[in-house]
Amino acid sequence: MKLRLLAAALAATVVLPFGAASAADLEVTHWWTSGGEAAAVAELAKAFDATGNKWIDGAIAGSGGTARPIMISRITGGDPMGATQFNHGRQAEELVEAGLMRDLTDVATRENWKEIVKPSSLLDSCTIEGKIYCAPVNIHSWQWLWLSNAAFKQAGVEVPKNWDEFVAAAPALEKAGIIPLAVGGQPWQSAGAFDVLMVAIAGKDVFNKVFGEKDAEVAAGPDIAKVFKAADDARKMSKGSNVQDWNQATNLVITGKAGGQIMGDWAQGEFQVAGQKAGTDYTCLPGLGVNEIISTGGDAFYFPLLKDEEKSKAQEVLASTLLDPKTQVAFNLKKGSLPVRGDVDLATANDCMKKGLEILAKGNVIQGTDQLLSADSQKQKEDLFSEFFASTMTPEDAQKRFTDIIASAD
């Protein structure tokens, strides 16, 4: 008797998931864990839950470098999640080629993604051999300099309007006991700061030649030498910022302990959580105030191929929810990033986001380094720049090593 009851109970637990209409639990992994990011991801979860499905949050702490290996080994190891964040571009390239990711072309044509996603390079990065494999959710640009108005006031100098003025103001900041430039110890931060300096100082064409065409001659040339000189300045200005995580470095700027930080627009979410206002408490300079160009990398969701039909259906629902105009606005306002569709209204956006939208509308955009370089080359670059920023390596030596990396990049 007891055994039969037990069997019935077991059977019930098996049957139940099939019985429940078309709703499914979908585990979504991502590395959005700082205050501003968590608030933004909650908006996505809310929108997805409203469709009758359930968002199971799989946040992985410790930024992309820690999270991506975990995600990839889960997918290749046969324990795929419902959906996962990647920076779109080349990070998931091989997973797609190995047939582990789901083709979203049906959803994309039904919802007309080709028309609505702006700039189109975002969707191009999701496309491999004519098929679409990811849903872009936001545009993140690296090319921002965040300045603390309070820090400059304390040092008795005006808030700089571009990189050169910032470098000139550094001694005054130091005298007031303020670190001029906050750079965290995570390797991607120093590598990213260098890419930003390159766009600002050497310009868009040089950037595209070096990272797009992997032209080693340009990488060894005088334009890049100038960039390394600027990186040398940045290195001197960053002495004393003994923090690891990017949001800790941003916090130095928020609290006025540091003058500024070169960081992507995701830093804006932190200013918002701290209750600071663009213009009065902090200043943002796109393209370091020199070259107003922003890169259009960003985050996208990829959907691993699942056997469960209910879950596969839920994946489609999630994909279309992510690009829904309402979700786009709610998510991006909290995240501090720009929406992937040009037709949504961001009237409530703050000054910095509006600046970004303007540059985007003008078309002054470049592709992000994640889209141009393989993870392998990116890692080598990170090794180089984390060493450069922490040591006394000469700019000339660093440039030589940089040229080698570009020459061997694929």
Partner 1 sequence: MTGQAYAGRPNQLLRNLHSKIASIPMILTAVVIFLGGTLWTVFYSFTNSKLLPRLSFVGLDQYERLWAAPRWLVSIENLAIYGFFSLIFSLVIGFVLAALMDQKIRFENAFRTIFLYPFALSFIVTGLVWQWVLNPEFGVQSVVRSLGWTSFTFDPLYNQSIVIYGILIAALWQGTGLVMCLMLAGLRGIDEDIWKASRVDGIPMWKTYLFIIIPMMRAVFITTLVIIASGIVRVYDLVVAQTSGGPGIASEVPAKYVYDYMFQAQNLGQGFAASTMMLITVAIIIVPWAYLEFGGRKRG
Binding mask 180-209 for partner 1 (x = CB under 8 A): -----xxx----------------------
Of the candidate spans 24-32, 64-72, 101-109, 119-127, the one that interacts with partner 1 by CB under 8 A turns out to be: 64-72
Binding mask 78-97 for partner 1 (x = CB under 8 A): -------------x-xxx--
Told to check if 244 binds partner 1 by CB under 8 A, we report yes
> Measured from the CB atom, is 22 or 408 closer to partner 1?
408
Closest distance to partner 1 from the beta carbon of 372 (Å): 15
- Which of 84, 283, 386, 399 is in the footprint of partner 1 by CB under 8 A? 386
**3-state SS of the chain?**
CHHHHHHHHHHHHHHHHHHCCCCCEEEEEECCCCHHHHHHHHHHHHHHHCCCCEEEEEECCCHHHHHHHHHHHHHHCCCCCCEEEEECCCCCHHHHHCCCECCCHHHHHHCCHHHHECCCHHHHHHEECCEECEEECCEECCCEEEEEHHHHHHHCCCCCCCHHHHHHHHHHHHHCCCEEECCCCCHHHHHHHHHHHHHHHHCHHHHHHHHHCCCHHHHCCHHHHHHHHHHHHHHHHCCCCCCCCHHHHHHHHHCCCEEEEECCCCHHHHHHHCCCCECCCEEEEEHHHCCCCEECECEEEECECCCCHHHHHHHHHHHHHHCCHHHHHHHHHHHCCECCECCCCCCCCCHHHHHHHHHHHHCCEECCHHHHCCHHHHHHHHHHHHHHHHCCCCHHHHHHHHHHHHHHCC
Structure tokens at 260: 């500024």
Q: Quick one: angle between helices 187-202 and 222-237, nearest 10?
A: 130
Told to check if 376 binds partner 1 by CB under 8 A, we report yes
Told to check if 177 binds partner 1 by CB under 8 A, we report no
Closest distance to partner 1 from the beta carbon of 196 (Å): 19
> Measured from the CB atom, is 26 or 373 closer to partner 1?
373
Closest distance to partner 1 from the beta carbon of 79 (Å): 16
How many residues of this chain bind partner 1 (CB under 8 A)? Answer: 31
Told to check if 242 binds partner 1 by CB under 8 A, we report yes
- Which of 380, 399, 403, 406 is in the footprint of partner 1 by CB under 8 A? 380
Closest distance to partner 1 from the beta carbon of 67 (Å): 10
- Which of 295, 388, 395, 402 is in the footprint of partner 1 by CB under 8 A? 388
Closest distance to partner 1 from the beta carbon of 189 (Å): 11
- Which of 127, 208, 312, 374 is in the footprint of partner 1 by CB under 8 A? 374
Closest distance to partner 1 from the beta carbon of 383 (Å): 5
Told to check if 390 binds partner 1 by CB under 8 A, we report yes
Told to check if 255 binds partner 1 by CB under 8 A, we report no
Closest distance to partner 1 from the beta carbon of 253 (Å): 18
Told to check if 120 binds partner 1 by CB under 8 A, we report no
CB atoms within 10 A of CB 255: 12
Residues in contact with partner 1 by CB under 8 A are 65, 68-69, 72-73, 76, 91, 93-95, 98, 185-187, 242, 244, 374-376, 378-380, 383, 386-391, 401, 408
